[in-house]
Structure 1
Amino acid sequence: MKKLNIVKIGGNIIENKLELDRFSKLFSTMEGPKILVHGGGKKASEISKKLGIAPKMHDGRRITDEAALDVAIMVYGGLTNKKMVAQLQSHGCNAIGMSGADGNAIQAHKRPVGTINYGFAGDIDQINAPVLKSMLELGLTPVFCALTHDQKGQLLNTNADTIASELAIGLSVDFEVTLYYCFELSGVLADVNNPSTLIKKIDFDEYEKLKSDGVIADGMLPKLHNCFHALQHDVNEVRIGNLTLFEKENSNYTTLTL
């Protein structure tokens, strides 16, 4: 079975020009078919404020009303996505910008209103694996922003970590998938303020223990939930770390296994 790398890049790298350029070079040199997923929440908040639209958050999650959705479409699908595609092209990677609506790649539904109304937030229903497989076979590298659609004309703001996980699951039938979550830390740390406390391997039992002990908390909770969700649905391997993830001979990152 052919190998496929799916990489989700974090916002702190996207907003740092030097780090982004370094990432683009490293990603472009990865052998074989690959997919990139990115968010853009920091830039969206910045643009929102310039437009006089106050970003709305709840427990670290963005509430996407109609105005916020328009900003997300402009920033995620336009500004950030196209800059990323152009940069990858400059390094010889034949990237193509994508949202979930393009090629009907990612179908989702608007999250039902519960205690909190998240507005136009999307929860994923299905990945269009045949279309993506065809693109990969043509030598194209899809670059997904954090937008999906409901097949009724509505775009939806969707968590980029979740998009990466669901893409990995949807394509695991046809590929041996390695899923990477690349951000500013070297991996999962026992002490988030101490880089030397990297945990190199975490299985599901250890994950449950680290959660109960409060070691895995805040923004790392949903990230690792997506990681183990992917592993439980036939994704081959998940790695979490910084840009050194893509440097040969490096082993300073966190590998997750069942």
Structure 2
Amino acid sequence: MNTLHVIKIGGNIANDEKKLENFLANFVQLDEPKILVHGGGSSASDLCKKLDIPIQMNNGRRITDKPALDVAVMVYAGLINKNIVAKLQGRSCNALGLSGADLNIIPAKKRTGTEINYGFVGDIEAKSINNYFIRRLLDEQIVPVFPAITHDTQGQLLNTNADTIASTLSIALTKHYNVSLIYCFEEQGVLKNIKDPDSWIPQLKKQNYLDLKSEGVIHEGMIPKLDTAFEALKQDVQQVHIKHAENLLNNTGTELSL
């Protein structure tokens, strides 16, 4: 089977012109097939502040009411997504920006049954991913670019964590590819000390992660990222790395294992 690269970049990279250009210069050098998933970062929060829309978070996950959803769709699936696609086309990389609603590729279910009401947040399952259209695109050397937007198949758009989308797409495609999942952000890897950028962990096993989480060393936004990453390994994704966006093409960063 061919190797499929599923790359997720954080919104803080997607929002920074120089960082994004540097990342894309490396991304286009990766062999195809490949998929790019991106978050929204501070741009959605910044627009919410300008519009006096409260920003609500719980353990690193965004709570999305209707006004916040409208902002997320505009920023994630609109401005950021199309900016990335245009820059990829400018580097002769044939890309297509798709929300989860397009071609019904990523159907989701509105999150229920939790103590916290997350609002218009969608949960997704690998078995529901529309592999057929993704594979057709990849076979045509098209690079799908996914924002953190899905839908409930009943006409409602939903906000879904981009780390979760990357992980779930990876799991869904393991039957057809050897999948390498890479989370790119602004640190060298998973840090032992958040104040020390050189304290990144080269190898992180699941039990080590659980220990560090219980000790409070790993917290907030890294928890959902690592939870989805270890779930991907559990579901037969071959490789999972967390690394600095500038190091996409080299072996530095944190490699995860069960």
TM-score norm. by structure 1 comes to 0.95
The amino acid of 2:50's aligned partner reads K
Number of residue pairs matched by the alignment = 256
CA distance in 1, matches of 2:38, 2:82: 11
Q: CA deviation at 1:107?
A: 0.9
1:1-258 paired onto structure 2 within 5 Å: 1-112=1-112, 114-125=114-125, 126-247=128-249, 250-258=250-258
Equivalent residues of 2:13, 2:185 under 8 A apart? yes
CA distance in 2, matches of 1:63, 1:130: 31
Q: Deviations over 1:192-224 (max 9, x none)?
A: 111222210112232233223332222211111
C-alpha RMSD of matched pairs (Å)? 1.4
Local SS of the residue matching 1:45: helix
Local SS of the residue matching 2:195: coil
Q: Percent identity?
A: 51
Equivalent residues of 1:64, 1:120 under 8 A apart? yes
Local SS of the residue matching 1:107: coil
The amino acid of 2:164's aligned partner reads T
CA distance in 2, matches of 1:116, 1:146: 20
Equivalent residues of 2:59, 2:221 under 8 A apart? no
Equivalent residues of 1:168, 1:235 under 8 A apart? yes
TM-score norm. by structure 2 comes to 0.95
Q: CA deviation at 1:58?
A: 3.2
Equivalent residues of 1:5, 1:33 under 8 A apart? yes
CA distance in 2, matches of 1:232, 1:254: 17
Equivalent residues of 1:39, 1:160 under 8 A apart? yes
Q: CA deviation at 1:113?
A: 5.0
The unaligned stretches of length 5 or more in structure 1 are none
The amino acid of 1:48's aligned partner reads C
Equivalent residues of 2:23, 2:246 under 8 A apart? no
Local SS of the residue matching 1:235: coil
The amino acid of 1:82's aligned partner reads K
Q: CA deviation at 1:114?
A: 3.0
The unaligned stretches of length 5 or more in structure 2 are none
Local SS of the residue matching 2:30: coil
CA distance in 2, matches of 1:210, 1:46: 31
Equivalent residues of 1:244, 1:252 under 8 A apart? no
Equivalent residues of 2:15, 2:80 under 8 A apart? no
Q: Deviations over 1:93-121 (max 9, x none)?
A: 11100110111110110011532211110
CA distance in 1, matches of 2:198, 2:52: 42
The amino acid of 2:14's aligned partner reads I
Q: CA deviation at 1:41?
A: 3.6
Task: State the 4+ residue runs in structure 1 displaced beyond 3 angstroms.
Answer: none
Local SS of the residue matching 1:195: coil
Q: Deviations over 1:13-70 (max 9, x none)?
A: 1222111100111111111210000111411111222233232333432221111111
CA distance in 2, matches of 1:244, 1:115: 39
